[in-house]
Chain A
Amino acid sequence: MMKGALETDRLLNSMDMSVLERQRAYLKYHNPSFDFPLAGFFSDSPMINGFLGTPGLDIPVIYSETTVEVCDPSLSISPEDITGSGNFKKRKFDTETKDRNAKKMMMMRNKEEEEEEEEEEKSKITEQNNGSTKNIKKMKNKAKKEENNCSNDSSKVTKELEKTDYIHVRARRGQATDSHSIAERVRREKISERMKFLQNLVPGCDKITGKAGMLDEIINYVQSLQRQIEFLSMKLSVVTPRIDIDMDDIFTKEVVSTPMTLIPPSHGIVGSGYSHEMVNSGYLHFNPMQQGDTSSDPLSCFNNGQAPSMWDSDVQNLYGSLGV
């Protein structure tokens, strides 16, 4: 019982797992029946229960504790590790094969438990803390169990060290931290961002909640736009034989008028150059009569340029006046 007390002292001071385990293993080999009272002591220990009772909600306090805990094994194990493992190996060779098989089974089970616990791990900050609580849980489990092994323990310590190495991605509390779910989360966030953009773009989509409905709306909108284009090109093809020349004239007018109203100096030159080109390219002399006609009336709304941001409003006016 003295040793048990000593161990709990160690536990509270440094949480040095492997040493503890090794000592317990040592103890067990000398006196197998001694394990049971020890187990009782461990599970009943109020300190441990108290520690378990605060599962990482109080971040600053526990963070400081956990940093000590995480750092500790790496510092304190290294000198003892060699001799400890050596001892263990010697003992391991002494034991019977049956015993070894049982140990292996235990190891497997422990690892499974560990993985489960890993999945349960919550957040970047509380992860380390969870690790420490995990340690204690595991110790409890092990104390209750009749057998334990050193190799599992050391592997766990190394695992934990690895884990502290590559925690870079942020995960909120309650989110899984394995790489797959993190990648999936990033993907989902990107998708929802895009969906938000689409929501702004597609009229009537902002009232719909749910991805399926939104996608429906988007599909409908795209199809309607495609149909509109079809329809408009049809309309144009019907109209063009008569105002074949008008279209070109509209082009020139628009090309001239838009840059003039929007960005006067630089684009104006380009625009006018373009219109010159147009005039020279020979659609003007095709039918001067009609040209004069068209430039006088419907296109005046393109020319009269009320204010700088004209194009849209002009087009809107056009729609309004035509009742389309």
Chain B
Amino acid sequence: MQPTSSMKEEFLKKWQMGLQIFRPSIDNTSVSERKKAIKLSADVAMASLRKGTTCWSRALIEKTATEDNFLVRQMLTGIKAEALINKKLPKKIVCHRKIVRRSKKILRRKSRSASEEAAVKAKRLVKRRTQGLRNVVPGGEFMSNDILLLRETLDYIVSLQTQVNVMRSIVDAAEAGIEQ
């Protein structure tokens, strides 16, 4: 599952479109502002590639939309921005936490053998890592089960690789252009 060139191409188109929309803000501002605009447009372009089929892209669009609503909406006109932004993410599960905690307490009361203890420790480590992954992947807190989280992570990584590849090639080309 390497980023395909068709994906890169599509991303490039989307990003270019976004940059055109962002152009007024890119042209006459400070470097940080410009950087923000570039990153935002790249993020939205990447997220819009998935057309709202994945959790992370929806979460990312939602996040960027809160930052710069108008431009993002403009950028997404091609793919029904309203529907995407307003599309509900799966609900966060909060209400069961209490029950889970209580059951854990009950479980803890039982005395365990050494091997069981080790298994519990390993499980805890994995759980902490999973939580970390959830924080890293946009919209991860909405992904209630591990399978979904891993699938989204896969997709997210592929998209990130695409983005990095394209951006790097452009930066390189631009730098080469300056040098000469």
Interface residues of A (CB under 8 A from B): 187, 190-191, 194-195, 197-198, 200-202, 211-212, 215-216, 218-219, 221-223, 225-226, 228-230, 232-244, 246-248, 250-251, 254-255, 258-259, 262, 274, 281, 293-294, 297-299, 302, 311-312, 314-315, 318-319, 321-322, 324
Contacts and interface: CB of A to CB of B under 8 A. Distances in A.
Given A232-B164, A248-B16, 16 more contacts: A191-B146, A215-B132, A222-B136, A225-B163, A228-B164, A230-B39, A232-B171, A233-B38, A235-B171, A236-B170, A237-B32, A237-B38, A240-B38, A243-B174, A297-B177, A314-B169
A246 B160 contact: no
Given A251-B16, A258-B5, A226 B150 contact: no
Query: 4 shortest A-B CB distances, which residue pairs?
Result: A298-B176, A215-B129, A237-B35, A194-B150
Interface of B: 1, 5-6, 8-9, 12-13, 16, 19-20, 26-27, 31-32, 34-35, 37-39, 42-43, 122, 125-126, 129-130, 132-133, 136-137, 145-147, 150-151, 153-154, 156-158, 160-161, 163-165, 167-180
A60 to B, nearest CB: 37
B9 A194 contact: no
Given A191-B147, A322-B172, A198 B157 contact: yes
B135 to A, nearest CB: 9
B177 A298 contact: yes
Nearest to B34: A237
Contacts of A222: 133, 136-137, 153, 156-157, 160
Main secondary structure of the interface of B (DSSP, over half): helix
A218 B170 CA distance: 26
Given A200-B1, A201-B1, A318 B176 contact: yes
Contacts of A202: 157
Nearest to A230: B39
Contacts of B27: 244
Contacts of B9: 254-255, 258-259
B158 A212 contact: no
B132 A219 contact: yes
10 contacts: A215-B126, A230-B39, A240-B38, A246-B174, A250-B170, A258-B8, A297-B180, A298-B180, A299-B173, A314-B169
Contacts of B16: 248, 251
Given A198-B150, A230-B39, A239-B174, A247 B31 contact: no
Given A211-B126, A223-B136, A236-B170, A293 B180 contact: yes
A194 B177 contact: no
